[in-house]
Amino acid sequence: MQIDALYQEIILDHYKRPKGRGLRDPYEAEVHHVNPTCGDEITLRVHLDEDEKVADVSYEGMGCSISQAAASVMHDLLRGKPLPEALRLHEAFSEMVGSRGQLAPDEELLEDGVAFAGVSKYPSRVKCALLPWMAFKDAAARAAAAAEVDVAVTQKGAVDG
């Protein structure tokens, strides 16, 4: 059945057993994002360590399986990554789910995140998958600003594959 392409086992697993859920201290920035079409909400905190690594992404929220699983997968992917690399992953994930099925997902880069490739064929669900990622991008920028890191500069020097 076609619907299996969307609701992959990985997504359902993360939905039923989310990783890293719950708001934790310390953090440099907290944001609250909503998806007004379906009422999904996420509160997300970012903690950067002294080396500008993403030491923690903690979150709390309510929403559909896609948005909840996306937050869980994102937590797994981003924790411990240098901020520029985390932002690069954000970009890669956004590109994949926005590609309407045209982009082959990079499994090495996105790991469990490639399970969301199926979402790209459901335009109404793209926003669900992106909700935690957009919240992360927002929070990361604020956290970086708080830590006086110039995100624009680090972003440019980011990509190394």
Task: Name the residues that contact other proteins, by CB under 8 A.
Answer: 1-3, 6-7, 12, 36-41, 62-66, 68, 122, 125, 128
Query: Considering the complex, what minimum distance in angstroms separates the CB of residue 112 from other proteins?
Result: 19
2 versus 51: smaller Cβ distance to other proteins? 2
Among 29, 14, 17, CA closest to 70: 14
Query: Considering the complex, what minimum distance in angstroms separates the CB of residue 94 from other proteins?
Result: 20
The first and second tokens of residue 112, run together, are: 């469990």
39 versus 101: smaller Cβ distance to other proteins? 39
Query: Considering the complex, what minimum distance in angstroms separates the CB of residue 131 from other proteins?
Result: 11
The sign of the torsion formed by the CA atoms of 58, 61, 67, 68 equals positive
Among 7, 54, 2, CA closest to 28: 54
36 versus 157: smaller Cβ distance to other proteins? 36
CA-CA distance, 69 to 65, in Å (whole number)?
Answer: 6
